[in-house]
Amino acid sequence: MDELNLLRQAQRQHQHHLVVRGLGEEIDLEIGPGDDPSFSSAALVDVTSTHDPAVVPADDHKSLLIHCSQPSTDGQPQPTPPQVEEHEGLLRLPGQTKKKKKVVKKWREEWADTYKWAYVAVHDNTSRIFCTVCKEYGRKHRRNPYGNEGSRNMQMSALEEHNNSLLHKEALRLQTASKENAQPLEIERPVYVKALSKTAASILESILKRGPHEAEFIQSIQEVVHSLEPVLVKNSQHVQILERLLEPERCFIFRVPWVDDRGEAHVNRGFRVQFNQALGPCRGGLRFHPSMTLSIAKFLAFEQTLKNALSQYKLGGAAGGSDFDPKGKSESEIMRFCQSFMDELYRYLGPDQDFPAEDVGVGPREMGYLFGQYRRLSGHFQGNFTGPKIFWSGSSFRTEATGYGLVFFARVVLADMNKELKGLRCVISGSGKIAMHVLEKLLSCEAIPVTVSDSKGYLLDAEGFDYMKYSVLRNIKAQQRSLKEYLKSYPNAKYIDDAKPWSEKCDVAFPCASQNEIDQADALAIINSGCHVLIECSNMPCTAQAVDILRTAKVVVAPAKATAAGGVAVGELELNPEFSLMQWSVEDFENKIQDAVKQTYDRSIKAAQDYGIMKENPESLVHGANICAFLNIAQAMTDQGCV
């Protein structure tokens, strides 16, 4: 029975009317018989219990209440039995005449929100007001501020506090995420897909049919197929190569059970996608994040395959991880999870097969635990994670190489535009390791970085960060504190909640947060901010619609496949037994990164020009990087036959 029929039936059976309250009207908060007709021994029927409360318009500050009989387990209303005992101020026996203190408050917006998600049900022979989201009544979570746990007054007050509690908000977040995951994802195709040749379009259509719900993976291949259109037209043999390339060689999905510090068992899902090994053993990161799915693992592995193919040190590509969230977990919980994760993954790793590396949520601590369990299970010390000289803990230069390489790449792009990085305003999203290294190197290049961000908003220092401010930021992040702590040291700065930094005036943008962080509105904001160059730091930071807008505005976009050249080069050099970063000076280290960046840039531009895309075209870097990487893989796949 839908909600509208439920309302009509309740009105018809009990001849009660809807009570509509306005802001400021006095109400009796006592639950039970009283002067206020909106509260009685009958139950409240929640008219929004089957929907996410977030869909109610924010400006609707009225609450709709209706009296009806108590709902039963089979969904049909049942009369409330007269013998039900009153408890906690909800119901009383008909003959009970005990007078209760009447509590009156002004009707407020918070109460309207409370009634939108509250409903009444019987628990332990007592009618209680429950939360629609987490199915618990108010006192289950937070103490009633108006009385002790044994008192009978004002459950709605407890529920009001519950509505603002962290537990309720977390339950609401999980419910929203569950609904989003349960619905099929609609893949919106960018405008440029319509212009594809018949052959390229058929390849894309086959991917859409094979995995219509793998949104991130489909999005990642759209740009590549678009870039490769002139290659496919010129050489029809590459069509079959591309069809094989777009199907991963191996995908592993496995269960990861672990026990927390309270002795409670949990289970997460683990992923590893070995996308292509035509050029050598796989190399790719492990990501621990609640959003991790097979689609994201495939997209990351595909991007890593092209990154490695674009570099001069050839390796295959892989990626993986788990939907485990290390935030808020103790050291022992993280260790137990990593050990359970490696119990399954270790059999697919090896010096000639797969080298895992760090990614979001996986740092030196997690890599150490993973390697320890791998060594225990495999029975030998191979150091397959980042190389035999660096062992398990990760190179101290690895993230620096990636962050520095991004800035060096921006400098090369600007040099071809007869500009220099010095004095340019730069906007950075994210505040992780790579973002902080980007900020550090921008300062040494005398640029003016003005923002960093986190999941709750962004920090703006309009005067620009300097080395002293950078040190403060680094200490805040090391202690895992909020970016708002920066305002205590520099009150002239601003922290903007629930916003992204793309509307701030800038010349160069560095998106370092996550995939699809720049949507259509953000792309328009970037254009209006005066930005001319966007350096992709994270994988696929722009949605397909945002990419189309940036192309139209002729914003130069440097793709992550090419900009990550510094980190890729150092990571692959670590695998060389004769290589040791510890013998390098800082100058040698930076020179090596700059050489890798310049070579990657030149190879990308040349590949684009070979297929008629000139350097002046703002799409030349994107198309050239995709073409160059694909041709390297295609040659190896052709030589090795159909395997």
624 with 564, same domain?
yes
Return the CATH number at 309. 3.40.50.10860
Region of poorest pLDDT, from 131-135, 587-591, 617-621: 131-135
605 with 576, same domain?
yes
Average pLDDT over residues 60-65: 38
The whole-angstrom separation of Cα 19 and Cα 66 is 7
The whole-angstrom separation of Cα 583 and Cα 105 is 73
pLDDT interval class at 100 (50, 70, 90): very low
Q: Could you give the angle at the alpha carbon of 301 between the alpha carbons of 295 and 302, nearest 5°?
A: 90
The predicted-structure confidence for 189-200, as pLDDT tens digits, reads as follows: 443 344 456 677
| SS3 (DSSP) at 614 | coil
The beta strand positions in 415-542, using DSSP E, are 425-429, 448-454, 457-460, 494-497, 508-511, 533-535
Query: Residue 385: its pLDDT value, please?
Result: 63
Average pLDDT over residues 191-217: 73
Average pLDDT over residues 369-384: 81
For residue 467, count CB atoms less than 10 angstroms from its CB and return exposed for 0-12, middle for 13-18, buried for 19 or more. exposed
pLDDT interval class at 38 (50, 70, 90): very low
Query: Residue 233: its pLDDT value, please?
Result: 87
Q: How many domains does the chain have?
A: 3
CB neighbours of residue 360 within 10 Å:
22
Asked whether residue 575 is assigned to any structural domain, the reply reads yes
The whole-angstrom separation of Cα 466 and Cα 589 is 23
Which range of 5-14, 208-217, 249-258 scores highest in mean pLDDT? It is 249-258
**Contact between 338 and 369 (Cβ < 8 Å):** yes
Region of poorest pLDDT, from 188-202, 306-320, 365-379: 188-202
Which DSSP letter does residue 503 get?
Answer: G
Of the residues 200, 215, 247, the one at which a domain ends: 247
502 with 544, same domain?
yes
pLDDT at 16 over 80: no
Which range of 61-65, 83-87, 581-585 scores highest in mean pLDDT? It is 581-585
The whole-angstrom separation of Cα 164 and Cα 430 is 28
Structural domain including 440 reads 398-637
pLDDT interval class at 134 (50, 70, 90): low
Return the CATH number at 512. 3.40.50.720
The predicted-structure confidence for 259-271, as pLDDT tens digits, reads as follows: 999 999 999 999 9
196 with 319, same domain?
no
Note the pTM of the prediction, 2 decimals.
0.69
Asked whether residue 156 is assigned to any structural domain, the reply reads no
The whole-angstrom separation of Cα 467 and Cα 292 is 35
The whole-angstrom separation of Cα 155 and Cα 141 is 12
Query: Residue 64: its pLDDT value, please?
Result: 36
620 with 485, same domain?
yes
Average pLDDT over residues 284-313: 92
Q: In the structure, how many helices (H) and strands (E) does the chain have?
A: 21, 22
579 with 492, same domain?
yes
Asked whether residue 591 is assigned to any structural domain, the reply reads yes
Cα 389 to chain centroid distance, Å, stands at 33
The whole-angstrom separation of Cα 472 and Cα 426 is 19
Distances in Å between the Cα of 520 and the Cα atoms of 215, 218, 427, 541, 547 are 17, 18, 18, 12, 8
Asked whether residue 78 is assigned to any structural domain, the reply reads no
Asked whether residue 621 is assigned to any structural domain, the reply reads yes
284 with 236, same domain?
no
260 with 327, same domain?
yes
Average pLDDT over residues 102-129: 53
502 with 520, same domain?
yes
pLDDT at 28 over 70: no
pLDDT at 67 over 80: no
Residue 330 half-sphere exposure toward CB, CA atoms < 13 A: 8
Query: Residue 590: its pLDDT value, please?
Result: 82
Query: Residue 175: its pLDDT value, please?
Result: 56
The predicted-structure confidence for 336-371, as pLDDT tens digits, reads as follows: 999 999 999 999 988 888 888 888 889 888 988 998
The predicted-structure confidence for 382-398, as pLDDT tens digits, reads as follows: 655 654 334 444 444 66
pLDDT at 443 over 80: yes
In 3D space, the residue among 433, 306, 401 whose CA is nearest the CA of residue 592 turns out to be 401
pLDDT at 513 over 80: yes
Average pLDDT over residues 152-157: 46
Query: Residue 193: its pLDDT value, please?
Result: 44
Query: Residue 463: its pLDDT value, please?
Result: 92
pLDDT at 315 over 90: no
Query: Strand 67-68 and strand 43-44: pairing?
Result: antiparallel
Query: Residue 573: its pLDDT value, please?
Result: 65
470 with 600, same domain?
yes
The whole-angstrom separation of Cα 442 and Cα 424 is 10
Of the residues 247, 265, 289, the one at which a domain ends: 247
Region of poorest pLDDT, from 513-517, 525-529, 582-586: 582-586
Asked whether residue 142 is assigned to any structural domain, the reply reads no
How high is the mean pLDDT of the chain?
A: 75
Asked whether residue 102 is assigned to any structural domain, the reply reads no
The whole-angstrom separation of Cα 210 and Cα 376 is 39
More confident call, 521 vs 568: 521
Asked whether residue 526 is assigned to any structural domain, the reply reads yes
Q: End-to-end CA distance of the chain, in Å? A: 56
The whole-angstrom separation of Cα 569 and Cα 400 is 12
316 with 463, same domain?
no
More confident call, 23 vs 252: 252
Query: Residue 77: its pLDDT value, please?
Result: 46
Of the residues 247, 274, 290, the one at which a domain ends: 247
347 with 462, same domain?
no
